[in-house]
Structure 1
Amino acid sequence: MAEVYIPPFTMTDEITNLVIEIAELTGAMTVSEQLSKNPKLRRDNRIKSIHSSLAIEQNTLTEEQVSDVIDGKRVLGPPQDIREVQNAYEAYEIMSKLNPYSVKDLLKAHKIMMEGLVKESGVFRSKGVGVYAGEQLIHAGTPANYVPDLVGQLFEWLKKSKLHPLVKGCIFHYEFEFIHPFADGNGRTGRLWHTLILAKWQEFFLWIPIETIIHERQNDYYKALNASNTDGESTIFVQFMLELIRDLLKELSHNGVMNKAKTLDEKLLDLLKEDGNQSAAGLAEIVGSSQRTVQRALKRLMDEGKIEHVGSNRFGHYVIK
């Protein structure tokens, strides 16, 4: 039996601390709930994501023009740029239905993203490809005949790895760009897939514009990719991307997108007001936290005199005082 491919990567204290920090930021927020009640915010962030991801690939349309294209309005601009926006919007719209561990779904997403733009849309490239800065070759992609097998191994690793999804998403992003499996559209497809991996961990990542902060730090993004290429492992790139994600979550919080999110204590109080016959295990399942975390929150609320425990320790339930 062939060994499962394990991408070269070193877990560092800096990366561990970033994962903890990001997890704390997401754990204290109910962003997905807020976004589900705010379609305008979801739409605005989706437009930012599409505009930024395509701008990285030299698309010339402004954010306002991207919005107009999505709305079906007439836009004066290069036909290819307009088609890129239309395709990207369609790809992002089906993202929640894609399986992050399916190569077939990856090809489906690429076909939608690149339909009418390249001949080889939805299939792995048949020829060699390189990444250039002007006329300088920065990175030569994997020889075409190895691409299907390497992508398959990468997806197998993604499915089986026990690493945190935050780390797995960044490693996948790097390895995907290193392989460069498609004739064109590798960057935009890789960024979409990174978002999909994160969204399977925390759904609200479907609606926050990671691509925007990558675009803002585009030079540093490519420097991190190149530094990892030089090192022969993804560690530098992983740390860079985690710093971007952390900074974006902080920025959204400061801008008020996440400030209205309820704390765990507030959510538990709301649930107990609706139904006072709830166990710690039942509450933990509803709010998506560990039972131990919920038990600590319930103890805080009991100490504050807001709730009380009724019945035995094992079979009791919590009620509002």
Structure 2
Amino acid sequence: MTYEKLSKIYYKSEDLYKQEYEKRFQGYGTFQTGLKIRPVQKGKHIGEPVELFIVHTHKLMKLHEEILLNSFQIRSMVEQMPAVAVQPYFDKLLINELQSTNEIEGVRSTKMELTQVLQSVKEKNLPKDKRFIGLMKTYQYLDHIKPFEAITDFRKLYDDIVAEEVDAASQPDGELFRKESVSITDGHKATHIGVFPEEQIKWHLQELIEFLEHSQTPDLYKFMLAHYYYEYIHPFYDGNGRTGRLLVCSYVARKLDKFTAITLSYTINQDKQKYYKALEELSQPLNKGEGTFYMQSLLELLRDGQKHVIEDLELGLAKLQKINTHLLHLDWADHDQKRLLATLLEVSVFAGTYHHLSNSELIEATSLSRYKVDTYLSTFESMGIATKIRQRPVTYQLNDNYIDDVLNASLNP
């Protein structure tokens, strides 16, 4: 039988709807969360509170299994990467993620701008007026964010990543969170109203912490449902989307891997309609708190992000064969020159055009002397292989024509 939404069953038969709800909520394969919401209709809370629950359907079980296997494959593929390319590759995904989370919130940012911010963070040269510094610093250490233990942790997250991006009129005006009510629209009509007043916000956030710490719900389900509940509470006037997605990403990074976690906003941005529909439908009165279909949508988005990473890594690892063949038959370069070229090519293949290692970073990565690195790069520049793109710190990039020649050469020269 097809597993249908309760809202659809309601219009077939109200008696069947009541029976089906009880059957699902009390079922052996059901995870009751203890988290309660008031359903939302036309941007208003209506009716009595209902408890969020998830039915462990076959489809959810298969998705859960697929995500765990994908994470294992990603970690295995990352281990096959050249060590020097791992962090630049993560930085590339990080910039994609931050640009996407900004776009979801209607905040304009370019990859070049975010690359410059990342460089400033790494060099600890942080201009006061630079946007996205907090967002970049926090996401960069995604897998080191500790589990939330107190409601003040939510305010700290807000202060760390978005407070400087929110205008003065939209800053929290309560003790920790917002003092007034807030409505969320889709640009045309109200779709949700946040929990109100602030004491209720605090109470719900404490319930969320208890759920994350003690619920027997499987972790991935728990994290995705925590994201919904945080968005339902909507503790701030602005910045809830960015903080809420980082919240779930930090838990996913610890459970699976940081590469899976860092792609969530990017994947959501590719299918925002699916994401927002999942959030809104879970709040609808006729669904009575069932999170099964919401969970299915969010896990599908997470899985799709993993597929993107796996395909990207497969392509990068295949290109490594081309690089190795090129260097093996390179008769004008000595061993150290080949080592430096290999490092530059590997980072270019995995990290793309916005990520380059400075001379100092190349010295650390290759264990070559500063004299050799500087001399070799000058030689590469005179040969038309590389171009100096920064003076402080001195940084070179390989020219696109050279990279194309390496990757398009026959494996059997």
TM superposition score normalised by structure 2? 0.55
* Counterpart residue number, 2:90: 42
Do residues 220 (structure 1) and 274 (structure 2) align? yes
RMSD over aligned CA atoms reads 3.0
| 1:45–1:239 distance in 2 versus 1, CA, 3 Å | same
* Counterpart residue number, 2:221: 167
Bigger Cα displacement from structure 2, 148-157 vs 111-120: 111-120
8 Å Cα contact 2:142-2:253 kept in structure 1: no
Do residues 69 (structure 1) and 117 (structure 2) align? yes
8 Å Cα contact 2:259-2:309 kept in structure 1: no
2:159 alignment partner, SS class = helix
| 1:41–1:181 distance in 2 versus 1, CA, 3 Å | same
* Counterpart residue number, 2:140: 93
* Counterpart residue number, 1:263: none
* Counterpart residue number, 1:119: 171
* Counterpart residue number, 1:133: 186
* Counterpart residue number, 1:234: 291
* Counterpart residue number, 2:308: 251
8 Å Cα contact 1:132-1:138 kept in structure 2: yes
* Counterpart residue number, 1:306: none
Do residues 158 (structure 1) and 217 (structure 2) align? no
* Counterpart residue number, 1:184: 238
8 Å Cα contact 2:68-2:256 kept in structure 1: no
1:8 alignment partner, SS class = strand
Do residues 106 (structure 1) and 154 (structure 2) align? yes
1:16 alignment partner, SS class = helix
Identity, in percent, stands at: 27
C-alpha deviation, 1:258, in angstroms: 8.9
1:242 alignment partner, SS class = helix
2:185 alignment partner, SS class = strand
8 Å Cα contact 1:110-1:185 kept in structure 2: yes
Bigger Cα displacement from structure 2, 148-157 vs 115-124: 115-124
Distance 1:197 1:258 in 2: 28
Residues 157-186 of structure 1: CA deviation (Å, up to 9, x unaligned) = 111122222111111111111111122111
Distance 1:152 1:162 in 2: 17
8 Å Cα contact 1:252-1:258 kept in structure 2: no
| 1:114–1:33 distance in 2 versus 1, CA, 3 Å | same
* Counterpart residue number, 1:60: 108
2:106 alignment partner, SS class = coil
Distance 1:179 1:173 in 2: 10
| 1:54–1:99 distance in 2 versus 1, CA, 3 Å | same
8 Å Cα contact 1:96-1:206 kept in structure 2: no
2:313 alignment partner, SS class = coil
| 1:207–1:245 distance in 2 versus 1, CA, 3 Å | closer
Bigger Cα displacement from structure 2, 13-22 vs 23-32: 23-32
> Rg larger in 1 or in 2?
2
Question: Match for 1:174: what amino acid?
Answer: Y
Question: Match for 2:63: what amino acid?
Answer: L
* Counterpart residue number, 1:25: 70
* Counterpart residue number, 1:283: none
Distance 1:94 1:36 in 2: 21
Distance 2:177 2:137 in 1: 20
* Counterpart residue number, 1:10: 54
Distance 1:167 1:34 in 2: 30
Distance 1:28 1:47 in 2: 23
| 1:193–1:34 distance in 2 versus 1, CA, 3 Å | farther
Distance 2:202 2:82 in 1: 37
| 1:47–1:36 distance in 2 versus 1, CA, 3 Å | farther
2:191 alignment partner, SS class = strand
C-alpha deviation, 1:202, in angstroms: 2.0
C-alpha deviation, 1:97, in angstroms: 3.4
2:177 alignment partner, SS class = coil
Question: Match for 1:125: what amino acid?
Answer: R
| 1:205–1:159 distance in 2 versus 1, CA, 3 Å | farther
8 Å Cα contact 2:171-2:238 kept in structure 1: no
When the two structures are aligned, how many residues end up with a matched partner? 253
Distance 1:156 1:34 in 2: 39
8 Å Cα contact 1:45-1:207 kept in structure 2: no
Residues 199-230 of structure 1: CA deviation (Å, up to 9, x unaligned) = 12123347632110101111221111111111
Distance 1:226 1:207 in 2: 23
User: Structure 1 runs of 4+ off > 6 angstroms?
Assistant: none
C-alpha deviation, 1:50, in angstroms: 0.9
8 Å Cα contact 1:173-1:194 kept in structure 2: yes
Gaps of 5+ in 1: 74-80, 261-321
8 Å Cα contact 2:252-2:261 kept in structure 1: no
8 Å Cα contact 2:260-2:302 kept in structure 1: no
8 Å Cα contact 1:56-1:215 kept in structure 2: yes
| 1:35–1:227 distance in 2 versus 1, CA, 3 Å | farther
